[in-house]
């Protein structure tokens, strides 16, 4: 990768980050409740679930695919977790079962895309319905709730004031960033997204890596499910509806191209924060909930428009 | 650098606009205590009526009312986020219509910790979740849904002569409101051995799902001659399905909520009856209770708003 390209990528992130800062400045000017330690921690905690789902989404989108099933996989993993806790399994084992559930669903997506040769849109659309139905069946349509204090610490614990979900999100991002930027798997992800045929010809095991990429998306959805379940003290078969759209939005606001081959996790994290700060700010300002949706949609479109304009300008 | 300028301008345009409007609107009650009312949704006539009643009471009491709701009624996580965000703004009382009777507990814990009194409207918190989390709830205001379901059952038993094949459209499973209506309805039918429930399925409170679910029920059970829907929206969807099947007027439909559309359907003979709740009274009572809490006056822990049967004759 040339130095020029590296610099281009860094500036793009700087742009998204500047957007986040500008947004915060506006909110700070508009309401005294925004820039307080407790509110900022509150925003970080609220953002954690979307941010974690966006990790897997970034891997998939960088590889040139899309994953519509992450919200449903989140629900199914959450129910698997709740059922295990209900059966009296210790919390770490129950969380392990949830993670395996998510991973299996993701790998299922991956196999459909690679060996089944289905477009990722179709494979994950099918999985979206299958996992949702599975969650409803496993839960008999009802929420499962009432868990031990120990398990709920996943959402309620604090270390030096920082809520546990924020710390977990930070750790997941550090690990995922290392994987995406410093490992063979990460380089394969970019290569496949850039030009799949070229990646194959240069000796990358495309099927293997792609299957794994969807597995990562399933895994991060399951991790988000564990936090959501602890946070609400309840697992719902209808949880995570539309979360795939929030995760896609966070990813593209962060400068990841839906065409594949480029994008970073730092961008996704900033994108998730933009969405979280925006929702929080609109609540603080008491903007009508209908207009909030208009604002969020506008921000997504404008962020991508600016990004595209800049890319064109640089060429 | 131009990019930065771009983004700043945009952010100001997007955010500054509503922020400015908001400031103008609130000057009348600036300085007045802020009371937050977090609803299940704002795209349902029932909650709009509740909002109107609440706003009228807030204007009378000189309170600043903040009303927010999640985009989707069943989004318990978004409702929790809204409550967390509003707690940051120094509200004095929190009024909530819980999206989930168990999930709301985590949000109430946060309000309790912030020493903001909580008033629940329409949906109770699950008793076990309340006990497990040591929740403090200042007051509950709602309809007696069990009694409403029972009245609906009794009415159907009377109008069908105690003999019918009954279908039921349920709300979202696990919702206390719908579950209570269902229990009341089933308990009423138990006293009439000729009334049998041949199909009972959730249509998740929604009109389009009421249509498709009831259409499927009619395919499976051609002998259905009465329907109880736990909400009017589902009942109205079912009315369309009945019309599409060419069986208008031959299936007795009883809904719940007495929405304007349902009242029209009853007048036109497409629906038999509905149960009228008084959302406007609920909104009013909730804000009045909030006003009393602010003056450190006692409030009743439980206030039920009566439910009435609405038929063509009434």
ipTM score of the complex? Answer: 0.83
Topology alike, domains B29-142+279-304 and B145-276: yes
> Nearest C-alpha of chain B: how many angstroms from A40?
10
Domain limits of chain B? Answer: 29-142+279-304, 145-276
> Nearest C-alpha of chain A: how many angstroms from B71?
7
Which of A301, A208, A251, A296 is CA-nearest to residue A53? Answer: A251
Mutate to test the interface with B, among A238, A270, A290 (most CBs of B within 10 A): A238
Give the separation between CA A104 and CA A281, rounded to whole angstroms: 37
Residues of A in contact with B26 (CB under 8 A): 286
N-term to C-term CA, chain B: 70
- Residue A306 tokens read as 């600016």
What is residue B2's three-state secondary structure? helix
The reply to whether residue B129 touches residue A15, judged by beta carbons under 8 angstroms, is no
Mean pLDDT of B130-140: 92
The reply to whether residue B3 touches residue A279, judged by beta carbons under 8 angstroms, is no
User: Which residues lie below 8 Å from residue A56, measured CB to CB, with a gap of 6+?
Assistant: A67, A70, A106, A216, A217, A218, A219, A220, A221, A247
> Nearest C-alpha of chain A: how many angstroms from B293?
23
The reply to whether residue A231 touches residue B80, judged by beta carbons under 8 angstroms, is yes
CB-based contacts of B123-127 (< 8 A; 24+ apart in sequence): B123/B40, B123/B97, B123/B98, B123/B175, B123/B176, B123/B177, B124/B98, B124/B176, B125/B98, B125/B101, B126/A145, B126/B101, B126/B102, B126/B176
More confident position, B20 or B291: B291
Residues of A in contact with B85 (CB under 8 A): 39, 42, 46, 279-280, 283-284
The CA–CA distances, whole Å, from B142 to B63, B97, B181, B281 equal 22, 10, 13, 9
User: Which residues lie below 8 Å from residue B183, measured CB to CB, with a gap of 6+?
Assistant: B146, B149
The reply to whether residue A293 touches residue B12, judged by beta carbons under 8 angstroms, is no
B-chain residue closest to A18, CA distance: B4
The reply to whether residue B88 touches residue A42, judged by beta carbons under 8 angstroms, is yes
- At B314 the pLDDT is 73
Residues of A in contact with B15 (CB under 8 A): 23, 26-27, 30, 281, 285, 295
Helix segments in chain B, DSSP class H: 2-11, 17-26, 45-61, 76-87, 104-113, 127-132, 145-159, 176-190, 207-220, 232-244, 260-267, 279-294
Residues of B in contact with A280 (CB under 8 A): 81, 85
- At B6 the pLDDT is 54
More confident position, B134 or B18: B134
The reply to whether residue B6 touches residue A285, judged by beta carbons under 8 angstroms, is no
The answer to whether the predicted template modeling score (pTM) of the entire model surpasses 0.90 is no
Give the separation between CA A10 and CA A64, rounded to whole angstroms: 21
Residues of A in contact with B126 (CB under 8 A): 145
- At A12 the pLDDT is 63
Mutate to test the interface with A, among B1, B2, B3 (most CBs of A within 10 A): B3
What is residue B132's three-state secondary structure? helix
The reply to whether residue B8 touches residue A31, judged by beta carbons under 8 angstroms, is no
User: Which residues lie below 8 Å from residue B206, measured CB to CB, with a gap of 6+?
Assistant: B233, B234, B237
Give the separation between CA A206 and CA A185, rounded to whole angstroms: 10
Position B98 pLDDT exceeds 70: yes
B-chain residue closest to A303, CA distance: B7
Question: Are the C-beta atoms of residues B100 and B76 closer than 8 Å to each other?
Answer: yes
- At B139 the pLDDT is 95
- At B14 the pLDDT is 55
Mean pLDDT of B252-259: 92
Give the separation between CA B225 and CA A60, rounded to whole angstroms: 52
List the beta bridge partners of residue A159. Answer: A162
- Residue B88 tokens read as 């940051």
Mutate to test the interface with A, among B39, B51, B90, B103 (most CBs of A within 10 A): B103
- Tell me which residue in A22, A39, A42 faces B11 most closely, judged by beta carbons: A22
Residues of A in contact with B66 (CB under 8 A): 286
Question: Are the C-beta atoms of residues A96 and A192 closer than 8 Å to each other?
Answer: no
Question: Are the C-beta atoms of residues A228 and A156 closer than 8 Å to each other?
Answer: no
> Following DSSP, what letter does each residue of B85-97 receive, concatenated?
HHHTTT-SEEEE-
List the beta bridge partners of residue B93. Answer: B35
pLDDT tens, position by position, A67-105: 999 999 999 999 999 999 999 999 999 999 999 999 999
Quick one: how far is CA B59 from the chain centroid?
A: 23
> Nearest C-alpha of chain A: how many angstroms from B312?
36
Give the separation between CA B183 and CA A82, rounded to whole angstroms: 26
What is residue B188's three-state secondary structure? helix
Mean pLDDT of B97-109: 91
pLDDT > 70: percent of chain B: 90
Question: Are the C-beta atoms of residues A219 and A99 closer than 8 Å to each other?
Answer: yes
CB atoms near residue A48 (< 10 Å) = 27
Place of tokens 């750790």: A171
Position B9 pLDDT exceeds 80: no
- Tell me which residue in A39, A234, A283 faces B82 most closely, judged by beta carbons: A283
N-term to C-term CA, chain A: 16
B-chain residue closest to A296, CA distance: B14
Please provide residue A311's backbone torsions phi and psi, each rounded to the nearest 5 degrees. -60, -45
Written in H, E and C, the secondary structure of chain A is CCHHHHHHHHHHHHHHHHHHHHHHHHHHHHCCCCCCHHHHHHHHHHHHHHHHHHHHHHHHHHCCCCCCCHHHHHHHHHHHHHHHHHCCCCHHHHHHHHHHHHHHHHHHHHHHHHCCCCCHHHHHHHHHHHHHHHHHHHHCCCCEECCCHHHHHHHHCEECCEEHHHHHHHHHHHHHHHHHHHCHHHHHHHHHHHCHHHHHHCCCCHHHHHHHHHHHHHHHHHHHHHHHHHHHCEECCCCCCCHHHHHHHHHHHCCCCCCCCCCCHHHHHHHHHHHHHHHHHHHHCCCCHHHHHHHHHHHHHHHHHHHHHHHHHHC
CB-based burial label for B45 (10 Å; 0-12, 13-18, 19+) = middle
Mean pLDDT, 10 residues at a time, chain A of 315 residues: 52 75 89 89 93 97 96 97 94 96 97 95 96 92 86 90 94 96 94 93 93 97 96 90 92 89 92 92 84 87 79 61
- Residue B6 tokens read as 């771009």
Residues of B in contact with A15 (CB under 8 A): 3-4, 7
- Residue A213 tokens read as 């990429």
The reply to whether residue B14 touches residue A299, judged by beta carbons under 8 angstroms, is yes
Mutate to test the interface with B, among A50, A254, A282, A289 (most CBs of B within 10 A): A289
In terms of CATH architecture, what is B29-142+279-304?
3-Layer(aba) Sandwich (3.40)
A-chain residue closest to B77, CA distance: A232
pLDDT bin (cut points 50, 70, 90) of residue B13 is low
Residues of B in contact with A145 (CB under 8 A): 102-103, 126, 129
Residues of A in contact with B13 (CB under 8 A): none
List the beta bridge partners of residue B273. Answer: B254, B311
The reply to whether residue A42 touches residue B6, judged by beta carbons under 8 angstroms, is no
- At B173 the pLDDT is 78
Question: Are the C-beta atoms of residues B231 and B255 closer than 8 Å to each other?
Answer: yes
- At B252 the pLDDT is 94
Give the separation between CA B226 and CA B168, rounded to whole angstroms: 9
List the beta bridge partners of residue B195. Answer: B164
Which of A258, A242, A229 is CA-nearest to residue A296? Answer: A242
- Residue A110 tokens read as 């991956």
Position B149 pLDDT exceeds 50: yes
pLDDT tens, position by position, B46-94: 899 999 999 999 999 999 999 999 888 778 899 999 999 999 998 999 9
The reply to whether residue B172 touches residue A238, judged by beta carbons under 8 angstroms, is yes
Residue-wise burial string across A252-287, b where 16 or more C-beta atoms lie within 10 A, e elsewhere? bbbbbbeebbbbbbbbbbbbbbbbbbbbbbbbbbbb
Superfamily, domain B145-276? Response regulator (3.40.50.2300)
The CA–CA distances, whole Å, from B117 to A256, A312, B37, B56, B137 equal 44, 55, 12, 21, 7
Residues of A in contact with B71 (CB under 8 A): 289, 292-293
The reply to whether residue B100 touches residue A234, judged by beta carbons under 8 angstroms, is yes
The reply to whether residue A289 touches residue B68, judged by beta carbons under 8 angstroms, is yes
- Residue B293 tokens read as 């809490």
Position B193 pLDDT exceeds 80: yes
Please provide residue B71's backbone torsions phi and psi, each rounded to the nearest 5 degrees. -65, -35
């Amino acid at each position: 990768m040339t130095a020029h390209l590296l610099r281009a990528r860094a500036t793009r992130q700087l742009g998204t980050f500047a957007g986040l800062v500008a947004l915060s400045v506006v909110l700070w000017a508009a309401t005294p409740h925004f820039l307080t330690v407790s509110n900022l921690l509150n925003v970080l905690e609220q953002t954690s679930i979307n941010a974690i789902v966006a990790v897997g989404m970034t891997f998939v989108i960088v590889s040139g695919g899309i994953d519509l099933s992450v919200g449903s996989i989140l629900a199914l993993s959450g129910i698997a977790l709740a059922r295990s806790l209900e059966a009296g399994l210790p919390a770490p084992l129950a969380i392990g079962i949830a993670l395996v559930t998510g991973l299996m669903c993701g790998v299922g997506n991956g196999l459909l895309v690679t060996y089944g040769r289905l477009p990722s849109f179709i494979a994950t659309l099918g999985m979206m319905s299958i996992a949702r139905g599975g969650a409803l069946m496993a839960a008999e349509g009802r929420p499962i709730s009432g868990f031990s204090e120990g398990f709920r610490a996943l959402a309620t614990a604090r270390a030096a004031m920082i809520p546990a979900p924020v710390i977990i999100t930070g750790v997941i991002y550090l690990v995922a960033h290392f994987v995406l930027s410093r490992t063979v798997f990460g380089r394969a992800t970019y290569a496949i997204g850039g030009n799949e045929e070229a990646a194959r010809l240069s000796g990358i095991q495309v099927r293997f890596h792609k299957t794994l990429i969807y597995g990562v998306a399933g895994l991060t959805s399951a991790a988000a499910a564990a936090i959501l379940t602890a946070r609400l003290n309840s697992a719902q078969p209808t949880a995570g509806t539309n979360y795939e759209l929030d995760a896609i939005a966070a990813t593209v606001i962060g400068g990841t191209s839906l065409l594949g081959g480029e994008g970073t996790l730092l961008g996704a994290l900033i994108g998730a924060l933009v969405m979280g700060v925006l929702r929080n700010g609109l609540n603080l300002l008491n903007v009508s909930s209908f207009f909030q949706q208009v604002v969020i949609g506008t921000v997504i479109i404008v962020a991508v428009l600016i990004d595209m304009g800049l890319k064109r300008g640089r060429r | 650098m131009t990019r930065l300028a771009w983004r700043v301008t945009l952010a100001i345009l997007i955010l500054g606009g509503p922020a400015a409007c908001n400031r103008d609107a609130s000057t009348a009650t600036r300085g007045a205590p802020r009371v937050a009312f977090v609803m299940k949704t704002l795209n349902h006539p029932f909650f709009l009526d509740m909002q109107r009643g609440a706003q009228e009471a807030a204007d009378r009491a000189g309170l600043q009312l903040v009303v927010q709701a999640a985009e989707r009624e069943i989004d318990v996580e978004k409702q929790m986020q809204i409550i967390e965000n509003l707690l940051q703004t120094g509200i004095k009382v929190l009024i909530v219509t819980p999206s989930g009777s168990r999930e709301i507990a985590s949000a109430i814990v946060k309000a309790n910790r912030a020493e903001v009194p909580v008033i629940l409207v329409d949906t109770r918190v699950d008793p076990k979740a309340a006990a497990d989390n040591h929740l403090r709830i200042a007051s509950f205001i709602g309809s007696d849904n069990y009694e409403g379901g029972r009245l609906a059952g009794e009415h159907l038993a009377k109008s069908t002569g105690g003999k019918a094949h009954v279908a039921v459209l349920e709300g979202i499973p696990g919702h206390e409101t719908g579950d209570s209506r269902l229990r009341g309805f089933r308990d009423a039918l138990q006293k009439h051995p000729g009334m049998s429930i041949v199909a009972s399925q959730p249509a998740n409170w929604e009109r389009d799902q009421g249509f498709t679910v009831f259409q499927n029920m009619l395919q499976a059970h051609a002998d259905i001659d009465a329907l109880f829907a736990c909400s009017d929206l589902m009942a109205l969807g079912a009315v369309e399905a009945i019309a599409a099947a060419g069986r208008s007027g031959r299936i007795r439909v009883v809904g719940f909520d007495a929405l304007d559309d349902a009242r029209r359907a009853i007048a036109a003979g497409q629906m038999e009856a509905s149960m009228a709740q008084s959302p406007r009274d609920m909104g009013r009572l909730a804000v009045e209770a909030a006003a009393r809490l602010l003056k450190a006056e006692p409030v009743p822990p439980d206030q039920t708003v009566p439910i009435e049967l609405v038929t063509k004759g009434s």
